[in-house]
Every structure is written in C-alpha cells, then in structure tokens.
Structure 1
C-alpha cells in the first residue's frame, strides 16, 4: 500500500469515526494531510465527513494547485497557515464540535488560553489554545490570524465556528482534537461549580515532564 493510499483511507476512517460520534455533522469539518513529496490530501468542499470516498479526496501540489479529486475545502488558507508556520506539521483537523464552539462564545473564556487546565492530557496534547475572533467561513483572514501566531500554537479555537488542530501526523491531530472537545465539554459541565482545576504548579510540572510548548 502506498503512502497516499494509506493516507486516503485513514482520512476517511477517522472522519467517519468523528461523524458517527457526533463530533461533526452535516457537511461540516475538514481534514488535510501532508505527504512526503510535499503535496497535500484534503477533504472536498461540501462533503460529509461521514461519507467520504478515498478516491475523491482532493490532491493538491506543494504550491496548493488542484491536481486531482474533487474541489478542496474552502478552508485551505487556514490549513496552509499551520503547515507554513509549523514545519513539523503533518496533518490539520478542523471541526465544528458543539462543546468547543459553545466555549468560544462564553465571555469568560480566556482568549490566550481558551481551555481551562482540567486534566494533564489537554495540556500534553494541545498546549495553550488561542481563541481567535469571528471570521466569515473561508475568509483568508483566518489563515493570516494563524500566521500571526508565528507557529507558537498547535491549536486554535475560532469564535462561533470551531477548533483547528495541527499535529505531527493525522492520528496525533485527531487525538488532540478529541482531547480539545472533551476538555471543552468538561469546562461546560463544571461551569458554576466549586471544582478543582490543576494548580499553576501542577500545570508547570506537566509542561516540564512532557516538554510541552507552553
């Protein structure tokens, strides 16, 4: 099995799993993977992540020219911003997952660190998650906002829209995305309660032990 064939199948397998578990719905969400030759595989525009066809995944050249497959997602500028600013990025996942979107709309959400420190895994897999302002879907300004972070964040939360996560490969990006959504869910469940988040000292211990970019 070639690298591209395996990546196409993994994209569809992961996307279907996310769709089946309600992490994305309808024709929302998109995934991209960078291949070793510098080209990209990207989920098509207007497609449901629950019903992707490996043969119809968009294939883009290193300079983002459409080579084959269906027309790619309109969020290409958002994805390319992560690849261009984080050299070790191998995949990007963007969802409209409900709890993350809800968290993005709460006035108390910290724009510099949108996820409260509730578990070590949210810190280990995501670092700090930057809350970006609202942009129209497909607006190239989203990509520019990510570029403005200079590669310092592997994940962002688009206000009233959804999370975007970059990882070293597709599985790492998918696992980090799911951790983001689960942490957002916990934050909403605990809102208004007298819960115990991780202390600053505990957060720093996690950062040091797992070499987190904090």
Structure 2
C-alpha cells in the first residue's frame, strides 16, 4: 500500500513570487527538483538562491533584500507524487486528509473525483515530476469560497480533449462537469487548474 505523501505547506505560488520580486528569474530544476532564484544584474552583491520549496525560496529572497513576505491566510498544500508508486491513490488520500484537517469535508466527493482524473491524465499523458496542489480560494466582494486543485507535470502538451469512447476519453469531460478548468503552460511543463465551486453549485 502506498504511503501518504507528507503534507507540505506552500503558501506562495510561482505567479505570486514573480509578482513580489518582478526583476528576479525563477525556475525549478528538472533533475534536482530545487527551486532557484536568480537576482537581477543591478544587484551584483546577491547570488543564486536555491530551495526545495517556493515558501522557503520566498523567505530567502526576502531576507536577502531585507523585505518581509506576507503569508496568505487561505490554506494551501502541495505534494510531489511518485509516478511509480500508485500516484492516483496517494493523491486521493492526501487530498482527503487535507480536507479533513481543514474541516472542508463537504468538497470531499467532488475533489477526489477531480483529483483522480487530473492525476491519471498527468501519469498517462504527461511527464514527471508530478505535483498536486490543493488550496482554498476566497474571491473578493464576499463571493463564496472555491476549492482549487492543480496538477503540474513536465510535459507542455495540454490534456487530451477527445470524445469519450470505449477506449476512454472521459477524464477531462468528467472534470469539466465539476469544475472550471484552465491550463497554464510554463517553462517547465504545464499546470492544469480546476476550480470547484461550493458543492451543489454548478460550474460556470
């Protein structure tokens, strides 16, 4: 039986990090898995900074610049899934554990279905490493909170969008029935984002 991936708190996303430090260059090493931050040329006294997580990297960059990094209030966790050790089952268990910990069990069924389909798609049609992220998103203007599920892999190819048939093809169709889906390609692959509304509310 696969072990549950350890919950790793990750409050800062790559987009947020780029916004906080717009003149820095950030990337993740494919072989090492380490995040790197390269300072701009007008800061010659600073050197390359590396860390296994974006949170730690943000803290190190902020420390080098003498700046604080605000931490978002909404919970956010990420897991690195081992593609050779039942990643779909491990991802489902990790999501279930996090939702229980956050007292968000009302999303459990929908979230586990979406997690299964997105991780399966990444395993079958993407490339390692595969990272699963779960976050609670609170929109502005008093709107209802939404649950964000992201799956990142190293392939730039978008998920297969094909008509369901005897040989499969139901994955993204199922996900679109539960969530608003977007695909964000980037320098080290792509991230598929599924935003789940409050249970009982249809996806837009």
> Shared fold (TM-score greater than 0.5)?
no
TM-score under structure 2 normalisation? 0.27
Structure with the higher strand share, 1 or 2: 2
Structure with the higher helix share, 1 or 2: 1
Work out which structure has the larger RCO, using CA pairs closer than 8 Å and 6 or more positions apart in sequence. 1
Larger radius of gyration: 2
